[in-house]
Amino acid sequence: MNNKVLKTVEYNKILKQLENLASSDMAKEQIKALTPLNQLDEIIKLQKQTSFTRKLIDHYGSPEFDGLKNISEIVLRLDKNGTLTQIEILRVLGVMECTSHIKQYYAQCNDSDEKYANLFNNLVTLVDTQKEIRRCILNEEEISDDASIELRNIRRQIKVLNSRVKEKLNEMISSQTYRAMLQEPVITIKQNRYCLPVKLEYKSQIKGVVHEQSSSGQTLFIEPSAILDIDNKIKEYESKEREEIEKILFRLSWLINEDLDTLKNNYNLLVMLDVLFAKAKLSKSMDAIEPKFNTEGYVNLKLARHPLIEKDKVVPINISFGKEYKSVIITGPNTGGKTITLKTVGLLALLAQTGLHIPAFDGSEVAVFDEIFGDIGDEQSVEQSLSTFSAHMKNIIHIINNADGNSLILLDELGAGTDPIEGAALAISILKKLKEKHANIIATTHYSELKHYAMQEESVINASCEFDINTLKPTYKLLMGIPGKSNAFEISKKLGLSDDVIDDAHNYLTTEHTNFEDAILAANKEKELAEEETKKAIMYREFIEKQKHEYDEKIQSLKEEKEKILNKSREEALKILENAKEEAKNVITNLKNEAKQINETFNSKVIQSMKNTLDDKSKELEDSIKKEKEESYRVNPERVSVKKGMEVYLSNLDKVGTIVELPDAQDAVLVLVGIMKIKVSMKYVFRHGNSKSKKKIVTSTNKLKRNKLDSMKFEINVIGLYPSEALDKVDKFIDDAILMNAETIRIVHGKGQGVLKKEIHKLLDSNPNVDSYRLGEFGEGDSGVTIVKIK
């Protein structure tokens, strides 16, 4: 694609916007190098990638590419087995951590487009290497003591020696003998050696090495002989420290080098993703769409907008050409939008062929052009001493010589800049020549001759930019099939030109010109009538839609009222059920107590029989309510795209739980319900808390249960109790758990000598409501806990 048209239609300004949306310098450089393509398969691939990332940011936001720095030179050094510096290793770490972040971002995206998912799936995290680098390097200037045992030992020795030096020097500055000899009782460091500030006159009395003298010459900074050996030892260890750091950096460089191919691949993918997300952000900011493509030169833009004009100011255009009509001649007043129309068509075609979405309505279609030519704007060249007309003509000659049937040609004010009669004749001839090449042409003009040409020539159509004669302002709307009217007389009259002057001007018009202008006027009136009918049709449609909406609202209101009545009935039934359970529980407790006192074992059987009967009735009522509730969910199920940590309603369990793991291959999720984790099919998983009716059902169903569950967590701790006291509590706890429909309980009795555990196990063996029990496993409390399964 020629660079001239890219500049003319301001393609580079869009690339600059795109560049500003990228995070990394490498992505920005790739964006600067973008150019339109003409291979349809490659264009569609790029468009699909842009659509893929646009969908992701619409649903999940845009990921950050922090840490993605240029490591090209670092990779070259690693290829040669070179050792990296701390800063270079940290830059590599940034790429690794960016990889992990992008992988985590995509993990939370519920996306099934496997074709483009590989952009993320092919990223490989290097967790072990990341951890090792983080363990060894604290920042750009500091290596951790934990980087190696040797480094820790060296630094420990340096610390000990430094302490000894400071101790000796502190003794000297605290001594009455030396204090008078010092300018100040302080320890200073000069030339990386510990020194004392000694007065010049006492130079000979303090033996040592003079490292520096003050600007006044009255103070000498002397390293006392008493610490010379220690200082020298420190320097030795500091040299060893540097050597050990070099070893650590070599080891880390070698570790990175082992995964060099993976690092290169990650780096290239991250830069590609940075570019793609920049494209998606641009698409979102422009409210753009993925266009359809064809190879037949057909363009059909619906409500297309120029992306460099503010959304609230731009007027969308509809324009189609390339099938029945290969050439479009646009007429209309100055500043009416003709040039913007040319630039919009050209720019959107170029953006589409670059893989970028275009600001237009869904269903817009563009062709894949081998070349787009443009002659737009003032082409006068001062340097070459060319006039405006000459510059335009030189450009047009180039277009004629290079255009073919797969070209799009944009010509602004064709034939302007010279004598109008000759200019119009030349313009028609140029259009015919380009038409012979079967090129697609959009041309703007003021010449009436070109309007006649469009009406008489096959495959050429007139178009115009609408002008409001009442306000004397353009509307910027493009009208296909209707030539533009000059409106010179009407505008002059509005501005105050007298009628006699205007009437006299009419006498100089030819009959042919007058008839042509009248035909245009008639066409405009037909258009106005059509628009009026369209407005009426839209108004009727809106009225019908409003009536339908009101009807739907009434139906919904009736459904909600019905649901309220059913909910109220369920609540009352549940209250009766819970009250009955509570009363039955009290009766059972009293009977048990009496049975224990008089040792009448048959009473236990009677109690159990009563309890079983009550449980059967309770379950029958609960099942009935549960069935109604499930039916209410089935009427308006709100299936959700589940995420970890999301609270959901489980219809098969009549419980609310929290998602722990996302759906597996069998479409089942792992849900945390109370203290238990269970697998539940997605068909039983519903949104919790969005719908008023559903929320009411869930809370009313479990209101009394939840109060009990809040105070009872299916766990009892009897550590430290006497066996008799512990057994009573455990027995009552089992009864409570049965009433609450618990499946599993946890008894914490401790390890100790095992006496309490044995007594509890005897109680469990004799309790008919216990299905089985076992000691806790690792992580559950081991042998200090018994897990009980209730029948």
Domains assigned to the chain:
3-126+259-286 (1.10.1420), 147-250 (1.10.1420.10), 292-494 (3.40.50.300), 576-702 (2.30.30.140), 715-790 (3.30.1370.110)
Q: What stretches of 672-776 show up as alpha helix (H) in DSSP? A: 692-711, 723-739, 755-766
Note the pLDDT of residue 636: 37
Report yes or no: 790 and 767 within 8 Å, Cβ to Cβ. no
Strand order in the sheet with 744-748: 715-717, 744-748, 785-790, 770-775
The span from the CA of 385 to the CA of 605, in Å, is 117
To the nearest whole number, what is the mean pLDDT of the chain? Answer: 82
Candidates 674, 570, 680, 683; CA nearest to 627 is 570
Give the start-end residues of each E strand in 423-491.
440-445, 460-468, 473-480
Most trustworthy range by pLDDT among 159-173, 272-286, 487-501, 743-757? 272-286
* Cβ within 8 Å of residue 698, ≥6 positions away: 649, 656, 688
- Name which of 632-641, 701-710, 711-720, 752-761 the model is least confident about: 701-710
User: What percentage of the chain exceeds 70 in pLDDT?
Assistant: 79
Q: Which residue has the higher pLDDT, 683 or 114?
A: 683
Encoded amino acid at 77, one letter:
R
- Nearest CA among 419, 547, 375 for reference residue 2: 375
Confidence of residue 237 (pLDDT cuts 50, 70, 90): very high
| Tokens found for residue 673 | 């319900």
DSSP per residue, 62-74: PPP-TT----HHH
Count the Cβ atoms, other than its own, within 10 Å of residue 651: 21
Would strands 317-321 and 299-304 be described as parallel, antiparallel, or unpaired?
A: antiparallel
CA torsion, points 495, 499, 501, 507, in degrees to nearest 10? 120
- Residues 432 and 434: their CA atoms lie apart, in Å, by 5
Q: Are 485 and 520 in contact (CB under 8 A)?
A: yes
pLDDT of residue 712: 46
Q: What is the pLDDT of residue 358?
A: 96
Write down the H helix ranges in 599-650. Answer: 602-635
CA distances from residue 595 to 145, 592, 604 in whole angstroms, order as listed: 72, 5, 7
User: pLDDT class for 715, splitting at 50, 70, 90?
Assistant: confident
Strand 193-199 to 188-190 pairing: antiparallel
Output the pLDDT for position 602.
45
State which amino acid sits at residue 778: F
Encode pLDDT of 690-711 as tens digits. Answer: 433 333 333 444 444 444 444 4
Mean pLDDT of 718-729: 84
Residue 641 parent element (H or E): none
Tokens of 18: 């795109």
- Binned at pLDDT 50, 70 and 90, residue 633 comes out as very low
pLDDT at residue 599 above 70? no
For 411-434, what is the mean pLDDT? 86
To the question of pTM greater than 0.85 for the whole model, the response is no
Residue 134: per-residue pLDDT: 94
Question: Residue 697 and residue 182: Cα distance in Å, rounded?
Answer: 87
Residue 227 has pLDDT above 70, yes or no: yes
Residue 444's closest CA among 454, 459, 456? Answer: 454
What's the pLDDT band for 629 if we cut at 50, 70, 90?
A: low
Instruction: Identify which has the larger pLDDT, 599 or 716.
Output: 716
E-state strands within 139-249: 188-190, 193-199, 208-213, 219-224
Predicted confidence (pLDDT) per residue in 519-566, tens digit: 555 555 555 556 566 666 777 777 777 777 777 777 777 767 776 777
Region 560-576 average pLDDT = 72
Are the C-beta atoms of 672 and 658 separated by less than 8 Å? yes
Measured CA to CA, the distance from residue 145 to residue 155 in angstroms comes to 8
pLDDT of amino acid 323: 87
Contacts of residue 127, defined as CB under 8 A and 6 or more positions apart, other chains included, come to 100
